[in-house]
Amino acid sequence: MSSLEMDASNWGPTPGGNAGGGDSSIESGDWRSKLQADSREMILNNIVGTLKRLVPFSGHEGLQELKKIAMRFEEKIYTAATSQSDYLQKISLKMLTMETGSQNSMPDARQSNSAANSVNPSDPGTMTHNLNQGIDHVVDNALIHPDQFLPLTPNNFHLDIEALKCQHEVVVEILRGHPIYYALTATAEVPRLYLQQFWRSLTHIREEGENRLESRIDGMHIVITRELFRQILRLPTANSVPGRDSFDPPVSEATLCAEIQSLGYSADLPQTSSFNRRHLTPLWYTFFTILNRCLSSITKGIDQCSANLLRLFHGVAFYRHIDYTAILWYELDQKVRDNAGNRRRNFIPFMRFLQLIIRHYMELHPTIARRSTHTDMDTSNWRPTPGGSVVGGDWRSKLQADSRERILNNILLQLELYVGISKILC
């Protein structure tokens, strides 16, 4: 039997206890008191054996540090587990994750081992740091290998309402009181590793006429329904307006275009695909820019939007009681389905919404490991040409052609939203 195949034979109840399913105390709050004294030691030795194979260490002191790390890991799981089976499953899953990760990164592990042999074993602090890094590296690579990381191209921005400056104060007042206010302004910091893993494993499922999304965070399988999506973004329900029990029905395309023109749109608008924000008055230009940048994953071509987003803009402009959840859920679901086909994206769309979903599950399930959020600017926006170096006086010539454009787009967004859209661009 593999060292990772830890079954119930390692877990013996105290004499008089029932090892089968008859003694519910094993699965209840006092399950810890029913374990034999050597049960945890057997599992701890199993963990140490796995770490010794996967994590580089040096000498006797290195081994002692490895055992200390194993003890802390085991104690953390032991304390958080809700039952014997929950405890055993969590340890088994984590060890299996490390084993799988090491198989995907063997060259790196050998290089790390060579470097570890040069470390002074008399420095336990350095050894502990290296061992922890080794464990994190193996586990992280098992979730998603760095080769699969996508650039974190800015999209789906959050609106800082306090920093918003524009000529029309009514914009701020309308947004503050609107049902989509939270969806515009909410933000979350989550580990970038989880964001990458979440998007890579996100799939569209349709069963019994309903769509749902499934993904993974750390070792946990999660399901996202449209109703959960609505709850996370705190979007209105059909009966959230007093005296109403249904949403306003969608208007026809002809009505939609005609009503947008009534806002002072300065060009013909025969169909939604003809829309361009440049023809809006300064007030509605501001509104549209905020909605399109904060509630979509668009990264370029920001003068236009999807037909669904135009309906959302129309709903805000005329303060209609429409199903905003259906619109945003469709947009996200469509991106997931596109990604599964031949139109795989080179960036992660709807980053902010995905981060809010991840945070929801991390708060709901404390057993999901807490990793660094790495909130510094993502260097994937700055890419040297192949074989080039960004160090030295010629670093400008080494940047790929789209690097400055990425940053420029980000700067323009800040100017549009916070320095006065109508004053700068109209």
Per-residue pLDDT, averaged over 35-43, amounts to 76
d(CA 417, CA 173): 15
Give strand pairing partners of 205: 212
Which pairing describes strands 220-224 and 203-207: parallel, antiparallel, or unpaired?
A: unpaired
Look at residue 360 and tell me whether its pLDDT is greater than 90. yes
- Mean pLDDT rounded to a whole number for the chain: 75
Q: What is the pLDDT of residue 114?
A: 42
Residue 66 tokens read as: 């490895």
Last residue of a domain, one of 127, 143, 159: 143
Residue 255 lies in a domain: yes
- Residues 28 and 9: beta-carbon distance below 8 Å: no
Same domain (yes/no): 86, 136: yes
Out of 107, 127, 143, pick the residue that ends a domain: 143
For residues 234 and 290, give the distance between their C-alpha atoms in angstroms, rounded to a whole number: 18
Q: Is residue 381 part of a domain?
A: yes
> Does residue 104 belong to any structural domain of this protein?
yes
Which of helix, strand or coil describes residue 112? helix
Question: Is 296 inside a domain boundary?
Answer: yes
Q: How far apart are CA 90 and CA 80, in angstroms?
A: 10
- The reported pTM is 0.63
- Indicate whether 85 and 212 sit together in one domain: no
pLDDT by residue (tens digit) across 152-182? 888 999 888 887 776 677 888 888 889 999 9
Do 132 and 231 sit in the same domain of this protein?
no
Alpha-carbon torsion angle 271, 274, 277, 280, nearest 10: -60
Q: Which of 384, 377, 410, 409 is nearest to 398 (CA)?
A: 384
- Domain-ending residue, one of 109, 143, 177: 143
The tokens describing 309, both together, are 């987003």
- Provide the β-strand partners of residue 384: 399
pLDDT of the residue at 425: 36
Range of the domain at 394: 169-425
Same domain, 91 and 204: no
Q: Do residues 93 and 239 both lie within one domain?
A: no
Most confident by average pLDDT, 39-48, 285-294, 401-410: 285-294
215 shares a domain with 130: no
Would you say residue 151 lies in a domain? no
- Residue recorded with tokens 């945003």: 328
Could you read off the pLDDT of 293-307 as tens digits, one per residue?
A: 999 998 887 889 999
Per-residue confidence at 252, pLDDT binned at 50, 70, 90?
very high
In the predicted structure, residue 3 carries a pLDDT above the cut 80: no
Are both 174 and 114 inside the same structural domain?
A: no
Instruction: State the Cα–Cα distance between residues 289 and 161, nearest whole angstrom.
Output: 14
Report the run of H or E that residue 223 belongs to, with start and end: strand 220-224
Shared domain for 29 and 176, answered yes or no, is no
Whether 150 is covered by a domain: the verdict is: no
Phi, psi of 341 (to 5 degrees): -95, -145
Residue 209: pLDDT band with limits 50, 70, 90: confident
Q: Are 77 and 86 in contact (CB under 8 A)?
A: no
Q: Is 107 in the same domain as 256?
A: no
Give how many domains the chain has, as a whole number: 2
Q: For residue 323, count other CB atoms closer than 10 A to its CB.
A: 22
pLDDT given at position 346: 81
> Mean per-residue pLDDT for 182-198?
92
Q: Are residues 180 and 97 in the same domain?
A: no
| Per-residue pLDDT reduced to its tens digit, 178-187 | 999 999 999 9
Indicate if 228 and 121 belong to the same structural domain: no
Domain annotation covers residue 126: yes
